[in-house]
Amino acid sequence: MTRREFLLTTTAMAAQPKKRPNVLFIATDDMNNALGCYGHPVVKSPNLDRLAARGIRFDRAYTQFALCSPSRSSLMTGLGPDTTKIYNLQKHFREVIPNVVTLSQCFKNNGYFAARVGKIYHYGNPGDIGTDGLDDAPSWNHKVNPKGIDKAEEPRITNHTPERKGLGSQIGFYASPAPDEQHTDGLVAAEIIKLLEQNKDKPFFLAAGFYRPHCPYIAPKKYFDLYPPEKLEPIPFTEGENKIAPPWAYWTDPPNWNMSRRQMQEALQAYYASISFVDANVGKLLDALDRLNLTDNTIIVFWSDHGYGTGEHGQWMKQTVFDAATRLPLIIATPSPKTKGKGCPRTVELLDLYPTLADLCGLSNVPQNLHGKSLRPLLDNPNAKWDRPAISQVARGQKVMGYSIRTERYRYTEWNDGKDGDELYDYQADPKELKNLAQNAKLKTELRTKLRTITKARGRA
């Protein structure tokens, strides 16, 4: 090649527009931080562990609302629950903010192919599997609502809390003999892989919405076999432990729903099995990205809509603002990262995902009223200076709201604006939230002032 040809070639290459990064947006339902990459001593999650090795694991990531629809509506609109006004599982956010531009809609407006498979917005799980649920049509170019053999297997479920109504709020489980591919989550993975193959040459935002480990805990038997129940140790409950905070702080009543030790061991087995099943399906997506040579130009985000209690304070599932229910796994892997395989100790929120992805992908016409902040500085340096607490809330009926602020060290919570009590925990000295320091007037005032300032800016009345 002559010098002139070389110069012409390099000039032409430089003039070509830079290829925009793709986004693989992986959601899971009701998953806490029981993963190997988060240091859990029992749960096997090799695929999420390898994703964490590719990117940044956020060790203090929190939901805005410890319930599915309020959390997902907040994340996808980039607005706090007091702006969306979504506090339950029935109302759609467009009834309140009809012209909002959602996260995936913003990508669609920027020329991306935006599609979802499974649960991104709220579905009644498992009741609405196979339907649109509370989906949002303007958010997508394409959608798929898979329905697997687990729906047919529901009559075989063992239920340890028969007094609770609805499969989605019972401690129920079934070790299925059916293979992975026949389950709803197996179908989610297969359909996402099809979309990757069909759209690999165009910029895409693909959202994979897995349904597990949300109860009922149905997964192939081989995942149950990983966790013999007799080897699992339930979280101890001490008499009076559910009296440390105001009554509104607790959702599971009576503690542990009076399950026996053996029943709790079986519940843990089923929950962990469901996590490992999701992990296996995530592995299929990662393998497909590698096979299609897409990894080097795809941002991968893995998130849960909130955390999940498995016996802390005698509480199970969500709907509290204790750390177990509000803290969640969040992993972000970017192409050519400056830093990878590290944990970030800073306090972040699901609200931060919208501005982060818009920033990383250079989107235009991004809404200016988003409540979160781009995590790009923390992706470059997980220990970068960052002074943003996380705000979580949960409703008790129509009249009482619990608001909570979480810093790297403390959590302050007030119920009904403090009229029905408050809580203050120091996680450095008391990681299990067993000592309520609400009598510490100076610290409480400082955190309460910050909490109310932030929540007012996000729509709190």
Rounded-to-integer distance, Cα 221 and Cα 179, Å = 9
Instruction: Examine the residue annotation and report whether 122 is marked as an active-site residue of this protein.
Output: yes
CA atoms within 13 A on the CB side of 296: 4
Pick one of 3.30.930.10, 3.30.450.40, 3.40.720.10, 3.40.50.970 as the CATH number of 20-386: 3.40.720.10
Mean pLDDT of the chain: 95
Q: Say yes or no to pLDDT of 22 above 60.
A: yes
Residue 4: pLDDT band (50, 70, 90) is low
Q: Say yes or no to pLDDT of 309 above 90.
A: yes
Tens of pLDDT, residues 191-240: 999 999 999 999 999 999 999 999 999 999 999 999 999 999 999 999 99
Tens of pLDDT, residues 368-377: 999 999 999 9
Long-range contacts, 385-390 (Cβ 8 Å, 24+): 386/346, 386/347, 386/348, 388/346, 388/347, 388/348, 388/349, 389/347, 389/450, 389/454, 390/60, 390/61, 390/62, 390/326, 390/347, 390/348, 390/349
C-alpha distances in Å from residue 289, one per residue of 57, 197, 300, 445? 20, 9, 10, 49
**Residue 342 host element (H or E):** strand 342-349
Q: Which position among 122, 160, 313, 371 bears the catalytic label?
A: 122
Residue 3: pLDDT band (50, 70, 90) is low
Q: Say yes or no to pLDDT of 43 above 60.
A: yes
When pLDDT is averaged across residues 87-113 and rounded to a whole number, the result is: 97
Cis previous bond, 138, omega within 30: no
Q: Is the pTM of this model over 0.85?
A: yes
Instruction: Examine the residue annotation and report whether 68 is marked as an active-site residue of this protein.
Output: yes
Q: Which position among 68, 215, 344, 361 bears the catalytic label?
A: 68
DSSP state string for 244-275:
SS-GGG--SSSGGGG--HHHHHHHHHHHHHHH
Rounded-to-integer distance, Cα 363 and Cα 107, Å = 7
